[in-house]
Structure 1
Amino acid sequence: MLSCYEDVLSLTKKLVHTESIVNTEGEQLLAEQLYEMLKSWTYFNEHPEQVRCVQTVNDHIRRSNVLACIRGTKAASARTVILMGHIDTVGIDDFGHLKDKACRPDELKEALADESLPSAIRQQLDSGEWMFGRGVLDMKSGVASNLYLLRYYAEHPEELAGNLVLIAECDEEDSSHGILSALYPLQEWKQQYDFEYVAAINSDLVSPRYEGDENRYVYKGTVGKLLPSFFITGAETHVGACFEGLDPNFIASELTRRINYNPELSDEAYGESTAPPVSLKQMDLKPSYTVQTALAAYVYYNFLVHSWSPKKVLEKLKEQAHLAFDSVLQLFEERYRAYCARSGEPYQEIPWTSRVYTYEEMNELLTRDWGDAYTRHMETYMRELLADTSLDSRMYAARVVEEAWKWMKDKRPAIIIFYSSIYSPRVELTDKTENERNLSLALEQAVAYVQPHYEHPIQIRHFFPYISDMSFVALSDDEESIRSEADNNPAFGQKYSVDYEAIRNLNVPVINVGPYGYDAHKKYERIEMTFSLEIVPNITNQIIRSLLA
């Protein structure tokens, strides 16, 4: 076992002390500090070309990734392991009056001692075994672990029969500009040094899966995340004649009732299930108050996957949309008949039926109907819409769909399904390739080696359950699935882009070995220091030694 606790603790505090909130100047500041620190090491004085501070591409602000590589001298080998972790954090406003201490773990600990805390948090604080502060868990202690190991092998390259690459990437918390940009220098080093990337080890946070869970987890592969979105049109009417129209909010509400928390929409693989989808936005698109019902509504949902492709998710949600639409029309009819019986008004047959299209299907229909006039109009509209910087990718996509809908000849109520945000692809370790089998075995052996030195059980699971940059170093989806996501996302290639070919060219099996704690993104973010500062770097080191022996 490496005696690394104090060194990783010191590195963690250095990283945490620099406030590096995503989409702020702090990201660039920390990258520059980290770059200067690495350059000061003897190894990089002798090999300055092997440490780089590389600005992100196609980004709206200036920020950079830091990359460094150690070339082992024990034996000539192309085999290369990547250590990866992000240096950005979420904001600190939730710290309230302790905001000025959010990035000062020692000062924060003293201040929290005088606070009224929940009993479990109080016990952890008083134990001295936990560190509090923004970024300690997500995920600067993980980056510190990687830095420690990089420094160790910079001082002992003779112990490596292969190579070690570190990526400290920015912008994981928003749009993954960091890791998507890092793909290119990784490819450059692959060609320059003839690297064969055999494994990537991410060091993102690990938390209990349920209350009372004493296990610590390491993960093979990662969950995928989609943002399926629904543009819902109704039939506008004055509220005094409500049954003459169809409120799109009525349809949206039924859609959310069917999709939210629905375990049938949890994707299961290897005996592990994703959390079911949940609504992240539900709104109508009326710009202001009127006594007319809304013309359209917009909803989108967080959707996690283990094995389902973006195409499969669209198929499942198209079915749910039809069921929701049918249910709404049935309930509408029942209530309309009951109202007519009460009011004495004559009942009129309902003129609507369930209509559901994907964005791709609607585009194909409109292109057939209108040809170049439609496509030229939409190209111009989308380009001009980019000038509105207040629109994120989700509202940008909604506006594009809304504009396309204006070209529909049949304006009866309908649901349009599309994606409106970046897809974080699922990554599955199938053990079908030699590199995957070697990495799985190395992980198992590392856990077995370290477990006797730690009191809590360390368990291996298949899918890291949170969104992370692991999604952008390998692909488990085929070309058709990826194309389905892009073709059904109006924001793709406009508000963001993903070079899937660059990911396929890297395509390295990836696992997560990261710090353990609670309340990432919250005021009481904290790590259990023994696991995070000692066990994590030792597990990671054993994997490195197994793969680069």
Structure 2
Amino acid sequence: MLNCREDILAYTKELVNIESIVNTTGETTIAQSLFKTISSLQYFSSNPESVVLEKTTDDDQERYNVMAFVKGKKGKSNRTIILMGHIDTVGIDDFNQLKEHACFPDDLMEALKNEELPTSAKEHLESGDWLFGRGVLDMKSGVASNLYLLKYYSEHPEELDGNIVLLAECDEEDGSHGVLSALKVLKKWKKEHGFEYIAAINSDFVSPRFEGDENRYIYKGTVGKLLPSFFITGAETHVGSAFEGLDPNFIAAELTKQINYNTELSNEAYGETTVPPVSLKQTDLKPSYTVQTALSAYVYYNFFIHSWSPKDVLAKLKEQAMIAFNNALTTFEERYRNYSEISGEPFVSIPWKPRVFTYEEMEHLLCEENGDEFIVHMNEFKQSLLKKSELDTRMFAARVVEEAWKWMKDKSPAIILFYSSLYSPRIELTGKTDDELKLINALDQAVETIQPEYPHPIVTRNFFPYISDMSFMALSDDEDGINAVSKNNPGWGTKHYVEFQDIRDINVPVVNIGPYGLDAHKKLERMEMKYSLEIVPNITNQVIQNLLSKE
């Protein structure tokens, strides 16, 4: 067992003390500090080309990744393991009056003694084996563990038959510009140094799956995450003549009723099931108050996948949208008939039928009808939208669909289904390749070796259940699945783009061995020090040794 607790605790506090909220200058500050720390180590003083402060590419923010490598001297192997973790955090506004202490664990824990706390948090605070603060769990203690191992092997390269690469990436909490930029450096190093990437170990946080769950989880592979989005058009009318039009908000409400928490849309694979979709935004697109009903509405949902592809998800959601549209029209007609009966006004048959298009289908139709004129107009429109910095990728996509809709000859109510944000690909780790099998075996052996040192069960599962940068280390989707993303994202190639070939070029099996704790992204974020500072680095180290040992 490595005697690493105090060193990793010190690194954790150093990192946490730097407020590195995503999309702020703090991301640059922490990267510069970490670069300086690594550069000061003797190995990197002697080998300055082995550590880089690398600016992200195609990013409207100035921020950096820190990447470093140690070449082992135990043998001549080029097998290389990537240790990865993100250095950005979510914001600290939730700390309210304790905001000034959020990034200073010792001060925060002292201040929390005067707060009303839930029983478990109070017990953890008093126990002496939990550390509180923004980023201690998600995920600076994980980065600190990786940093310790980098330092250890820089001092003991004779124990390493192969190489390790440290990737400390920015922007995990938003757009993953960090890891996507880092792929290019990994490819460059692969070419320059002959690195043969055989595994990646992420160190993101893990938590109990349910109340009373005592297991500490390690994950093989990761959940995928999509943001299916719906642009919904209605038939405008004055509110005084409500039944002469169709409110798109009414359809949107029915759509959310159909999709939200719908377990038919939970994806089971290898005995593990994703949580069902839930809405993240629902709004109409009226710019201001009028007494006309809205022309259009916009709604999008979080959608996790284990084995479905983005193409599968479009097919399933198109079916659900048709059901919702039918239900909306049925309810509308019932209420219209009831109103006609009680008001004495005549009932007029409703003229609308449910219509659902994917963005790819609508765009194909409009290109066929209008040719180059439509294509040129939409390209110019997207370029003009890019100048509006207040538009994120999701609203940018909605505005593109809204503009394209204006070209539709038949403007009767419809639902347009598309993707409006980053796709974080799912990764299945099943042992189907030699590298996967070796990583699974190395992990199992490591857990078996370290488990006696820790009282709670250390359990492996198949899919890391949260969004993480693990997603960009390999692809389980085929070409059709990926094309469903690019062809159905209206901002693709302008506001949003991912070079999936970079992922294929690295394509390394990945596991998550990370700190354990509770309340990530919340005021009482905390990590258990015994597991996070002692067990995590030792399991990670065992995996490294198992993978790089002579067979």
TM-score bracket relative to the smaller structure: over 0.9
Q: Does 1:396 align with 2:407?
A: no
The answer to whether the aligner puts 1:352 opposite 2:352 as a matched pair is yes
Q: Which residue of 2 aligns with 1:135?
A: 135
The 10-residue stretch of structure 1 (221-230 or 31-40) with the greater mean CA deviation from structure 2: 31-40
For 1:470, the equivalent position in structure 2 comes to 470
- What residue in structure 2 maps to residue 68 of structure 1? 68
Correspondence list, 1:118-517, <5 A:
118-517=118-517
What SS class does the counterpart of residue 10 from structure 1 fall into? helix
CA deviation digits over 1:335-390, x for unaligned, max 9?
11122122222221111101000000000000111111111100000110111111
The 2-side partners of 1:247 and 1:55 are apart by 47
Q: Structure 1 residue 292: deviation in Å?
A: 1.2
The one-letter code sitting in structure 1 at the alignment partner of 2:274 is T
Amino acid at match of 1:520: A
Instruction: Provide the secondary structure at the position in 2 that maps to 1:299.
Output: strand
SS in 2 for 1:515: coil
Match of 1:59 in 2: 59
Corresponding residue SS for 1:504: helix
Gapped runs of 5+ residues in structure 2? none
Give the partner amino acid of 2:312. K
Residue 350 of structure 1 aligns to which amino acid in structure 2? I
Distance 2:290 2:346 in 1: 27
TM-score w.r.t. length of structure 1: 0.99
Deviation at 1:430, TM superposition (A): 2.1
Range with bigger deviation, 311-320 or 494-503:
494-503
Matched position secondary structure for 1:85? strand
- Deviation, structure 1 residue 332: 1.2
Aligned equivalents of 1:523, 1:126: Cα separation in 2: 17
CA deviations over 1:63-100 (Å, ceiling 9, x no partner)? 11111111111110010000000001111111111111
What SS does the aligned partner of 1:174 have? Answer: coil
The 3-state SS of whatever aligns with 2:475 is coil
Q: Which amino acid aligns with 1:296?
A: S
User: Which AA in structure 1 matches 2:228?
Assistant: P
What is the identity, as a one-letter code, of the residue corresponding to 2:309?
A: S
In structure 2, distance between residues paired with 1:61 and 1:237: 43
C-alpha distance after superposition, 1:47-74 (max 9, x if no partner): 1111111111111121111111111111
Q: 2:259 & 2:235 partners in 1: Cα distance?
A: 23
SS at 2:161's partner residue? coil
Instruction: After superposition, give the CA deviation of every residue in 1:190-220 in whole Å (9 maximum; x if it has no partner).
Output: 0111110000000001011111111110000
Aligned to 1:116: 116
Structure 1 residue 536 corresponds to structure 2 residue 542: no
Mapped to 2, the partners of 1:331 and 1:324 lie a distance apart of 11
Equivalent pairs counted in the alignment come to 549
CA distance in 1, matches of 2:414, 2:425: 29
User: Which deviates further from its counterpart, 330-339 or 513-522?
Assistant: 330-339
Alpha-carbon distance in structure 2 between the residues aligned to 1:38 and 1:293: 59
Between the aligned partners of 2:344 and 2:22, the Cα distance in structure 1 is 61
Q: Give deviations 1:112-154, integer Å, cap 9, x for gaps.
A: 1111111111111001110000100000000000011111111
- Separation in structure 1 between the aligned mates of residue 100 and residue 351 of structure 2, nearest angstrom: 61
Question: Secondary structure of 1:283's partner?
Answer: strand
* Higher alpha-carbon deviation: 36-45 or 388-397: 36-45
- Percent of matched pairs sharing the same residue: 66
**Matched position secondary structure for 1:222:** coil
> What code does the residue aligned with 1:544 have?
I
Write the distance in 2 (CA, Å) between the matches of 1:521 and 1:339. 48
Distance 1:242 1:41 in 2: 72
What displacement does 1:45 show? 1.7
- SS, match of residue 299 in structure 2: strand
What is the match of residue 79 of structure 1? 79
Q: SS at 2:200's partner residue?
A: strand
Describe the superposition over 1:16-74 as per-residue Cα deviations: whole angstroms up to 9, x where unpaired: 11111111111111111111111111111221111111111111121111111111111
> How far apart in 1 are the matches of 2:292 and 2:21?
43
Q: Take 1:523 and 1:511, find their aligned partners in 2: how far apart are those partners? A: 28
In the TM superposition, structure 1's runs of 4+ consecutive aligned residues that sit over 4 Å from their partners are none
- TM-score for both structures, normalised by structure 2: 0.99
Cα RMSD after superposing both structures: 0.8
Could you say what secondary structure the match of 1:108 adopts?
helix
- Structure 1 position 418, deviation (Å): 0.4
Q: Equivalent residue of 1:369, what SS? A: helix
- Whichever residue aligns with residue 283 of structure 2, its letter is M
Tell me which residue corresponds to 2:547: 547
> Deviation per CA, 1:498-537, whole angstroms, max 9, x where unpaired?
1100110000000000000011111110000000000000
Q: Determine the C-alpha separation between the residues in 2 that align with 1:493 and 1:445.
A: 44
**CA distance in structure 2 between the partners assigned to 1:369 and 1:432 by the alignment:** 46
In the alignment, the residues of structure 2 paired with residue 287 and residue 24 of structure 1 have an alpha-carbon distance, to the nearest angstrom, of 29
Moved more, 256-265 or 339-348: 339-348
Measured after TM superposition, the shift of residue 496 of structure 1 is 2.2
Q: CA deviation at 1:283?
A: 0.7
- Aligned residue identity for 1:448: E
Q: Secondary structure at the match of 1:249?
A: helix
Give, in whole Å, the separation in 1 of the partners of 2:238 and 2:20: 51
